[in-house]
Amino acid sequence: RCSVDNRVTRVAWLTRSSILYAGNDKWCLDPRVVLLANTKTQYSIQIQDVDVYDEGPYTCSVQTDNHPKTSRVHLIVQVSPKITEISSDISINEGGNVSLTCIATGRPDPTITWRHISPKAVGFISEDEYLEITGITREQSGEYECSASNDVAAPVVQRVKVTVNSPPYISDAKSTGVPVGQKGILLCEASAVPSADFQWYKDDKRLAEGQKGLKVENKAFFSRLTFFNVSEQDYGNYTCVASNQLGNTNASMILYG
């Protein structure tokens, strides 16, 4: 808007490089620029569907009886943040190094932060578009969230999934006491990525699935060895072996009377 009074005889709106309007006459070809008012008190134009290229100084020039006068206004164009590039989901072996990238645009330039979506995570782990993790551990697996914010609009967020492959680790393997004739269970729990394959041995002999009186149940994180009717011959030392392509581990337990 440009406020004028009755001493003004001629009016025009200009940019740094061209004339937009002179009086009621449009000089620019841009259909987005329109004349809103040309009265004795106001000379106003409107720019529709504003673009970043519209940013800059605009000058209202008026001619009075004495001399020309100008009034300048600077248009600042703000743009909501937008994430234009982000790393793909990644799978990496434990101990490896991970580099994640999150590129965002906006005006003013957005602030970029990374955080680990985890119950144990506290605050941001990077206040930069790059996130570097050296010697990654299995606890650092999961989703990582990139946030881009510049106060023009709500922050935009995207996530990257990081899968950390790790060799098996047996977390629970307890010996069990069962009377003869009762049902007995030996349980072997193991965490591994990818999930572990389980095998059972009595002394040095591997136990086969479907062996008489026995049942082996293998799940993603545990294996259960069930004896339906424990006999004296069942008592002894059992070994659970958990393995994946990164390695294997074993644990011994005893079924006793």
Please report, for the chain, the start and end positions of each structural domain, with discontinuous segments joined by +.
Answer: 2-75, 80-166, 175-255
Q: Which of 105, 125, 129 is nearest to 117 (CA)?
A: 125
Please give the Cα distance from 195 to 250 (Å, whole number): 15
Predicted local distance difference test score (pLDDT) of residue 252: 95
pLDDT along the chain (257 residues), means of 10: 91 94 95 95 96 95 89 95 97 96 96 90 84 93 95 94 95 93 95 95 86 89 94 94 95 94
Count Cα atoms within 13 angstroms, Cβ side, for 215.
Answer: 8
Please give the Cα distance from 129 to 24 (Å, whole number): 49
CATH superfamily of 2-75: Immunoglobulins (2.60.40.10)
User: What are the distances in angstroms from CA 152 to CA 55, 78, 102, 114, 251?
Assistant: 16, 7, 19, 20, 58
Predicted local distance difference test score (pLDDT) of residue 120: 76
User: What are the distances in angstroms from CA 195 to CA 36, 117, 139, 220, 257?
Assistant: 69, 22, 16, 5, 33
Cα dihedral across residues 123, 125, 126, 129: positive or negative: negative
Look up residue 189 and give its two tokens. 């729990």
- Residue 225 DSSP symbol: E
Look up residue 201 and give its two tokens. 């041995």
Do 2-75 and 175-255 have matching folds? yes
pTM comes to 0.73
Residue 206: is it exposed, middle or buried by C-beta count within 10 angstroms (0-12/13-18/19+)?
exposed
* DSSP helix/strand/coil, 233: helix
Instruction: Give the architecture-level CATH label for domain 80-166.
Output: Sandwich (2.60)
Q: Which of 192, 184, 175, 188 is nearest to 222 (CA)?
A: 188
Please give the Cα distance from 222 to 190 (Å, whole number): 6
Number of residues that this document lists for the chain: 257
Cα dihedral across residues 16, 19, 23, 28: positive or negative: negative
Look up residue 209 and give its two tokens. 């699935």
Please give the Cα distance from 28 to 18 (Å, whole number): 8
Predicted local distance difference test score (pLDDT) of residue 223: 95
Asked if 256 and 184 count as a contact pair (C-beta separation under 8 A), the reply is: no
Look up residue 168 and give its two tokens. 């098996």
For the domain made up of 175-255, give the CATH fold: Immunoglobulin-like (2.60.40)
* DSSP helix/strand/coil, 169: strand
